[in-house]
Amino acid sequence: MKYQNIASMGLALLGSAATVSASPLVLRGNSGVCPKGYSPTVITMSVPITATSTPVAIEEPTSTPSTPAPVTETQTPVQIMTTTPVGYVAAIPSSVTPKTEASVLETTEASVPETTQAAVVIITSSSQAPVVHAAVPTTSSVVEEATTSQSPVAQSNQASSSSSSSSSGGSSGEATFYGGNVAGGTCSFSGYTLPSNLFGTAFSGAVWDNASKCGSCVAVTGPNGKTIKAMIVDQCPECAEGHFDLFQDAFAELSAISAGVIDITYSAVSCDLEGPLKLKNKEGTSEYWFSMQVVNANEPITKLEVSTDGGSSWQSTTRTSYNYFENSSGFGTDSVTVRVTGESGTTVVVKNVGCESGSEITAGSNL
């Protein structure tokens, strides 16, 4: 029959694993769909299906996507929290109009890339509104200026500290006393008499520095408020820096002798000597051995140089701990030109200075 043949064909196509069953088809509301003499049959097939997955190729869209419509942005005022820590620096885009104020309460170094243009916001305290400066290019030089500049308060404090230091009357130290010795002192000022306005003192051996302070003067103020001026003519080997062993008459000007040791303040001053300085040769000086001392100078001597060609060239000498400038080989001549340099850089040149043993020559001026 025609419908049975269709079922047979289905079995042939699906193979032996398929099963076919037929049952009468119940029609609802339409009984005349089959030809006369035939009855409708429902064919049921059971077919095993093996599931396989096959990659599915998705094609890229060939059409260009449409450009979205531009979005209009609106500017929103920048809000800065007042709880920002003091000294914090924020960079605001230059499109934001900064609020400016007439005075600046505090400056702080800003760390912003060199090519960035920004307005700098400086938070002065957690309770104050931020102070905003006009936008400026944040170059390295601007940062350096912020680092090195000082606020008026800091400058005022520095000035106050400086004035306090200068008003203290000099360095603090202590003083003792001894009998005093000019001629036999370590500065070797034999034959020299102290001017009436000067006292004598021995200087600390801890900072003797080859007699570099011999002949210089100090102003010393004692516990009674009185100040004296004393010339350094000797060494106190056991004295620490700031300890002066004064001649007894100098100590008596500042305190009772019974005190023994007193607190002092002191500072270096000019000796204010009358007359020019003097050059004195040590015994034994000759053209083969040179040893010379400077006496009656208003300030410490830093060097003594000798010229054998009238000042065209200069040769140095070596200072000794007993306050002479020497050249162990001498300069090979009976007469030299001498140049003396003081601590301030002032120089005095003396020509035609003889190299005889123990001789002395007076210069035309002082330092």
pLDDT tens track for 276-323? 999 999 999 999 999 999 999 999 999 999 999 999 999 999 999 999
| Mean of the per-residue pLDDT values of the chain | 72
Stretch 258-277: mean pLDDT: 95
* Higher per-residue pLDDT: 239 or 90: 239
* Higher per-residue pLDDT: 156 or 344: 344
Stretch 326-348: mean pLDDT: 96
Stretch 321-341: mean pLDDT: 96
- Weakest mean pLDDT among 62-76, 165-179, 219-233: 62-76
Can you tell me the distance from the alpha carbon of 118 to that of 123, in angstroms, rounded to the nearest whole number? Answer: 16
* Higher per-residue pLDDT: 26 or 214: 214
Number of H helices, E strands in the chain: 4, 21
Letter for the amino acid at 283?
A: E
Query: Which residues are paired to 333 by β-bridges?
Result: none
Element (H, E) at 161: helix 152-166
* Confidence check: pLDDT of 342 > 70: yes
Q: Record the tokens describing residue 182, joined without a space.
A: 């000019």
Letter for the amino acid at 104?
A: V
Phi-psi region of 252 (alpha: psi -120 to 50; beta: other; left: phi over 0): alpha
Nearest one of 301, 246, 249, 251 to 271, comparing CA atoms: 301
CB atoms within 10 A of CB 298: 21
Residue 349, SS3?
strand
Give the pLDDT score at 253. Answer: 97
Give the pLDDT score at 113. Answer: 44
Give the pLDDT score at 356. Answer: 95
Can you tell me the distance from the alpha carbon of 339 to that of 303, in angstroms, rounded to the nearest whole number? Answer: 8
* Confidence check: pLDDT of 263 > 60: yes
- Weakest mean pLDDT among 39-43, 257-261, 338-342: 39-43
- Weakest mean pLDDT among 109-113, 250-254, 326-330: 109-113
> Where do the domains of the chain lie, and which CATH numbers do they carry?
2-46 (no CATH), 113-148 (no CATH), 171-269 (2.40.40.10), 278-362 (2.60.40.760)
pLDDT tens track for 162-188? 333 333 458 999 999 999 989 999 999
- Weakest mean pLDDT among 62-71, 239-248, 271-280: 62-71
* Confidence check: pLDDT of 156 > 70: no
Give the pLDDT score at 213. Answer: 95
Q: How many residues does the chain have?
A: 367
Give the pLDDT score at 138. Answer: 39
**Contact in structure between 279 and 291 (CB atoms under 8 Å):** no
Q: How far apart are the first and last CA of the chain?
A: 150
Letter for the amino acid at 30?
A: N
Give the pLDDT score at 166. Answer: 33
Stretch 226-241: mean pLDDT: 96
Give the pLDDT score at 108. Answer: 39
pLDDT tens track for 92-147? 444 444 444 443 334 334 444 444 344 443 433 444 444 444 443 433 333 333 33
* Higher per-residue pLDDT: 123 or 219: 219
Residue 205, SS3?
helix
* Confidence check: pLDDT of 258 > 70: yes
Give the pLDDT score at 170. Answer: 87
- What DSSP letter does each residue of 230-282 carry, written as one string? EEEEEEETTPPTTEEEEEHHHHHHHS-GGG-SEEEEEEEE----SS--EEEEP
Stretch 41-56: mean pLDDT: 49
pLDDT class of 41 with cuts at 50, 70, 90: low
Give the pLDDT score at 6. Answer: 46
Name the pairing type of β-strands 315-316 and 41-46.
unpaired
